[in-house]
A and B are shown apart, each in its own frame.
Chain A
């Protein structure tokens, strides 16, 4: 069974550093203000590395990753 991860941005914490869409452009994009937006809210194994890199680089810790059980995806 392949691992899937749920991806969210806590917009109360995000202040627009833009690290997520710079480092993980397949998972996040930028909005008009330069704030991050989630492109793919459930990522499969091919993108979990990218999603984790982005979450690890966010100074505001605004990116929430959640391991999903197989039936949730």
Chain B
């Protein structure tokens, strides 16, 4: 009965404080929702796979989804070691074997194992299917190409033969033309050699003709003068002579005039029957003949050149056909070889480590993760409890009514908590250095990273302490927050399998940043300059959480009044 009454009393207390209900209902719901989001966005397609292909068979991994092709193994590994990709696949031919090297992040044991066992098995199952499908496709394509090449080769042989025939014909034409040209040239050059003589003869004839024509003209002029004179005499005589004398003289004069006319006729006949005119015509004819012969010669020369050019073109064409035949022959050989390779080459799959192995000590490898959990847990819970102890005492009211600034209290509370955490950090460093042999050179960065991350969680714990005065409620919410940080990380599922947005959000979690940072520092051995980005991110979150704590302190004044 007592137990029953106690239970009833407790139930009444709890149910009459709605915030308990809210926390007990909303937070598990929220955590399960977070887990669901993580798991639902979890897909092999999200794994960012880097691919450097030096082989000839593994053509594409496009079916795998998030593939990024690389031009060199170095760039692929660089991105892998900087977490831009999760797996780097290097495909290449080694002798008669196709080798596929798979580089995986070996600093995260769980992820590495998961990646090996689950992701890559799946990837290469798909790849094997792909290869089988590709092999069939390639075989059929190769057969088609091979047939086409053979047909092309036959066509080329026919074309080559036709070119040979054409060349022979052209050579025959050229031979005949050469004979004709030689014969022609013989006549031509003989005739051509006469040309100056003909010119000279022609000139001589023309000049003698001119001289003769001048003499005849002069004679004709004299004849005309005589005729005129005789005419004058004849007209004069009737006045001087008469009768018989006159008749006699007239008769003689008429006879003389008649003779003169005959001479004139004879001269005309002479003019018309010039003995060299035919020669001259003949010479002109020969000159025309030579001109025609020149044209024939030019035509023959051009024809000869065209034939030469046609023969040369035919030879060049045949040479190109021969070269093309050779290429086709090589292509056919390549195809045959490729076909053989495709059928026969075994594939070897090797898993390799992205980072040179620092240690195989599992304690060391999980040390960053353990440190992150310890720091997150202790910072959140310690600071929350510290503030709750403070704000639930009447002395807190006295502090609130002093003229001191809120920021002074926030900084003081933070420093005290950080001091306590520092003790823990020192212990962790001692364990790291003396037990796990962590390099002392990494201690300063280890300290900075842990202190910044711890500060973030301290501020969050302080904020919850200020905002929620109820001790049990505040601790409950702090625990939920802690669970949220753990779930929203690589613990539940590797973030490499999550979608881009979820992965981005996970990478903003201070717990994840701290874990990755410590892993890079301790396991991978990265230097300070390579850790600037996560340190910067932590610093930004540090400043943000400080402001959250400050505002929570301000808001807590309302709680005091209530």
Do A and B make up one complex?
no
